């Protein structure tokens, strides 16, 4: 039994004890206390339950409903089309391309950010003068607004901008590319920007995980003659497993819904050609700006289902006990 359940049992016993001390019948009777307890529970949780249900869960139900109609957003939807919107989405090469881009971003983020963040976290976990200062700098990109980051890189990478100029100054002029305009290239530019932005988040998580690795273990290994790298390889990194899996989960969910950076960096003209959309930008472009509300909601449902299924699968096979009860509903 966990400490949580123990303490809650104690709470009940304490309530029962103090109830016995008081005369039966009056305002302190057992029935009155139970009623009062339920008033408190309901009174304190209702506001949160309502706000959360109305603004997070109810809209998803509406999305399913709207997605079955052809609807321009005026009046109530009347033209029922069944699964037609879903069919249209999968027939649209731009949507298929957006799906593909999301896949590139999910896999690319995991493969690129993971090793970089692990390396940096191991480095910044060593004790040395100025470590706190370096940690602070490494986290900076993560707190900047996505919009800021997008505009910043758009300016840096624009044609004849500072990156192109620097490359030319270094005699690497032949490497100059249309970073933000060449269709096959742009998704990789976007992946680079996303990596720059979010690798700090992985580092924060990994450093947290590293701080939980008992010093006794690594010290004992060091006394036994293990090298720094051997200690990391055989002790520290395996113990970091749960943290790495949680990061993979959060990174995956984040990558599936990525919107801001893509929207700001890839010009509308580039997006309309395909090759630089994600599901989220495609959804907003079609649903909100082109006012194809039924169609946009179908894309929303697809995005939601993909995320939900991916999350459940990941949780089933990787997470299990890593997030204690948070996703499974068990306080274990």
> Which of positions 25-44 make contact with another protein (CB under 8 A)?
37-38, 40-41, 44
Contact residues for 177 (Cβ-Cβ < 8 A; gap 6+):
185
At 70 the three-state DSSP class reads strand
Q: In the chain, count H helices and then E strands.
A: 17, 2
Contact residues for 69 (Cβ-Cβ < 8 A; gap 6+):
77, 78, 79, 80, 81, 294
Confirm or reject binding of residue 151 to another protein (CB under 8 A): yes
Using CB under 8 A, pick the residue from 95, 154, 198, 213 that binds another protein. 154
| Pattern 110-149, another protein, x by CB under 8 A | ----------x--xx-xxxxxxxxx-xxxxxx-xxxxxx-
The residue count for binding another protein (CB under 8 A) is: 115
Which residue in the block uniquely carries the two structure tokens 């680079």?
A: 192
Q: What is the DSSP string of 149-180?
A: HHHHHHHHHSTTSHHHHHHHHTT-GGG---TT
Q: Pick between residue 186 and residue 279 the one whose CB is nearest to another protein.
A: 279
Nearest-approach distance from CB 91 to another protein, in angstroms: 20
CA–CA dist 324, 56 (Å, integer): 23
Yes or no: say if 62 and 53 are a contact pair by the CB < 8 Å rule. no
Strand extents, DSSP E, the chain? 69-70, 79-80
Confirm or reject binding of residue 313 to another protein (CB under 8 A): no
Nearest-approach distance from CB 83 to another protein, in angstroms: 18
Stretch that binds another protein, among 62-70, 78-86, 88-96, 232-240 (CB under 8 A): 62-70
Nearest-approach distance from CB 230 to another protein, in angstroms: 17
Which residue in the block uniquely carries the two structure tokens 């032949």?
A: 174
Nearest-approach distance from CB 35 to another protein, in angstroms: 12
Q: Which of residues 288-307 bind another protein (CB under 8 A)?
A: 288, 293, 296-297, 300, 303-304, 307
Q: Which of residues 169-188 bind another protein (CB under 8 A)?
A: 169
Using CB under 8 A, pick the residue from 1, 56, 174, 225 that binds another protein. 56
């Amino acid at each position: 039994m966990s400490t949580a359940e123990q303490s809650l049992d104690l709470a009940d016993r304490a309530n029962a004890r103090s109830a016995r001390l008081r005369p039966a019948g009056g305002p302190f009777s057992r029935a009155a206390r139970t009623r009062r307890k339920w008033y408190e529970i309901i009174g304190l949780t209702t506001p949160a339950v309502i706000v959360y249900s109305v603004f997070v869960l109810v809209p998803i139900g509406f999305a399913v409903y709207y997605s079955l109609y052809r609807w321009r957003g005026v009046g109530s939807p009347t033209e029922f089309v069944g699964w037609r919107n879903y069919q249209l989405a999968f027939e649209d090469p731009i949507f298929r391309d957006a799906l593909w881009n999301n896949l590139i971003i999910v896999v690319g983020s995991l493969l690129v950010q993971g090793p970089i963040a692990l390396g940096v976290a191991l480095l910044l976990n060593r004790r040395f003068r100025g470590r706190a200062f370096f940690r602070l700098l490494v986290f900076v990109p993560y707190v900047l607004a996505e919009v800021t980051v997008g505009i910043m890189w758009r300016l840096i990478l624009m044609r004849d901008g500072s990156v192109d100029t620097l490359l030319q100054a270094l005699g690497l002029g032949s490497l100059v590319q249309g970073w933000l305009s060449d269709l096959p290239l742009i998704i990789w530019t976007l992946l680079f920007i996303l990596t720059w932005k979010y690798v700090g988040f992985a580092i924060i998580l990994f450093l947290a995980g590293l701080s939980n690795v008992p010093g006794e273990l690594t010290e004992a290994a060091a006394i036994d003659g293990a090298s720094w790298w051997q200690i990391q390889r055989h002790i520290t990194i395996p113990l970091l497993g749960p943290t790495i899996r949680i990061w993979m989960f959060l990174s995956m969910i984040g990558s599936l819904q990525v919107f801001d950076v893509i929207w700001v960096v890839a010009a509308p003209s580039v997006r309309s050609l395909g090759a630089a959309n994600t599901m989220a930008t495609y959804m907003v472009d079609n649903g909100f700006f082109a006012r194809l509300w039924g169609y946009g909601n179908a894309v929303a449902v697809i995005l939601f289902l993909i995320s939900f299924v991916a999350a459940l699968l990941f949780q089933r096979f990787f997470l299990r006990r890593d997030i204690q009860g948070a996703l499974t509903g068990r306080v274990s």
